[in-house]
Amino acid sequence: MATMKAIDIKGGKGPIENMFINDIPRPQITGSQALVKVKAFGLNRMDLLQREGLYPLPPQAPATMGVEFSGTVEELGADSEHGFKKGDAVFGLAYGGAYAEYIAVSTHMLVHKPDELSWEECAGIPETWITATQAMYLIGRFAPGKTILWHAGASSVSIAGIQLSRGDNAAAVYATARSDDKTSFITSSLGATAAFNTQKTDWADEVLKATDGKGVDVIVDFIGPEAFSANLRAIARDGTIVNLATLSGPKLKPEHEQPDMTLFFRKRARFEGSGLRSRDEEYQGKLRDQLVEHALPKFKDGSFKVYVEKVLSWEKIQEAHGQMARNETKGKLICTIP
């Protein structure tokens, strides 16, 4: 059986120090899949949870971490999507397996790499931009002229979302972050209307002031319990709060602001949770098509930008995971495979 090198975890799960490069079987493709030789892969916060054994994997996901990558097509399955051939430069989204020299992935989740973008930039697009697209449009029901707020505004998904919001003519785009350095980046580099440091201000009050008491139409939330009450205060009537993660933990704690649950029916607000990795291939494929149609031309002409915080060789995967765990990034961490 052919083998390849991949990032593995001693004992199957554990701390950063347990990660190492190992020889494992090379994946076999079936049906509509392609075998892609990986040039670069992007890191995501779910990778930290998966490494620790705290992320429920979908049944079709391999044990190897990583869901976004760029590379070249090595083989194609008998039922692969038309338009791809051996040697094509591509990037894409997978259920897992990107921390490796080769990945088996559905051709329905591949995109041709534009000449205008580097391998590293392309590896930072799929998970973050498709997640932002899903949260904004399919769950949040965003439309031009609406207002929107992105929590964790310097995170990769929110960086994508802020650009998408501005590109689709939001009336105003707001964000939160936990440092002045990040709020400055959000307004000066990303062009958000305003960004609020949650360590210094009551961001919900600031949003209400900025919107003359109306609130925002869409909130995209990764924080969970700590932001729950403030989200209810800041959401507009008939607005939608989209929850994608719970960085503040799974449950409300006594020290958290306790929510006024009457705001739900008084504002006719919707609170909806969503995840991308657990979705089926057809659902993800439609989002890929939306990304290609709406965002890819703007990547090519420079209207949209992939913000890469740092590029490291995959031999420094422990350093990369450490930097992400410390929340030191304003953009993507990318690893390359020589």
The answer to whether 173 and 193 have CB atoms below 8 angstroms apart is yes
* Dist CA 322 CA 126 (whole Å): 22
Token pair for 239: 């607005």
**Which letter does DSSP use for residue 117 in this model?**
S
pLDDT beyond 90 at 168: yes
Q: SS3 breakdown of the chain: % helix, strand, coil, rounded to 5?
A: 35, 25, 40
| CATH class as words, domain 131-273 | alpha beta
47, containing H or E segment:
helix 45-51
Residue 58 CA to its chain's centroid (Å) = 17
Percent of the chain having pLDDT more than 70? 100
Least trusted range by pLDDT, from 95-104, 227-236, 328-337: 328-337
How many CB atoms sit inside 10 A of residue 315's CB?
14
- pLDDT bracket for residue 264 (50, 70, 90): very high
Structure token digits, residue 54 = 């705290």
Which pLDDT belongs to residue 336?
Answer: 98
> How many CB atoms lie under 10 A from the CB of residue 201?
12
DSSP 211: T
pLDDT above 90 for 274: no
Q: What are the tens digits of pLDDT across the range 82-110?
A: 899 999 999 999 999 999 999 999 999 99
Per the prediction, the chain carries an average pLDDT of 95
Measure the CA–CA gap between 177 and 203, rounded to whole angstroms: 10
Q: What pLDDT was estimated at residue 52?
A: 95
Q: Please name the residues in contact with 337: beta carbons below 8 A apart, sequence gap of 6 or more.
A: 38, 39, 40, 41, 101, 313, 314
- The answer to whether 175 touches 206, Cβ cutoff 8 Å, is no
139-162: per-residue pLDDT in tens?
A: 999 999 999 999 999 999 999 999
Confidence band for 129, pLDDT divided at 50, 70 and 90: very high
Tell me the average pLDDT across 56-64. 90
Domain boundaries, the chain: 3-125+277-336, 131-273
pTM for the complete prediction?
Answer: 0.91
Give the residue with greater pLDDT, 328 vs 47.
Answer: 47
Residues 275-298 have pLDDT tens digits of 877 788 888 888 899 899 989 999
Which of 5-9, 260-264, 267-271, 282-286 is predicted least confidently? 282-286
pLDDT tier for residue 1 given thresholds of 50, 70 and 90: confident
Residue 290: strand, helix, or coil: helix
Note the pLDDT of residue 278. 79
Q: Is the dihedral of CA 50, 220, 190, 92 positive or negative?
A: positive
* CATH class of the domain defined by 3-125+277-336: alpha beta
Average pLDDT over residues 207-217: 98
| 56/16: higher pLDDT | 16
CA distances from 116 to 77, 121, 127, 145, 149 (A): 28, 10, 20, 31, 30
Average pLDDT over residues 113-127: 97
Give the pLDDT of residue 283.
Answer: 82
Q: Which two tokens stand for residue 292?
A: 């290609």
Q: What is the pLDDT of residues 297-315, one digit of tens each?
A: 999 999 999 999 999 999 9
Average pLDDT estimate for 229-233: 98
Torsion sign (Cα): 105, 109, 113, 116: negative
Whole-number Å distance between alpha carbons of 273 and 248: 15
Q: Point out the least confidently predicted range of 51-60, 115-124, 141-150.
A: 51-60
Handedness of CA 39, 44, 46, 51 (dihedral sign): positive
Per-residue pLDDT at 235: 98
Tell me what pLDDT residue 328 has. 82
Q: How far apart are the first and last CA of the chain?
A: 23
**What pLDDT is stored for residue 276 in this prediction?**
78
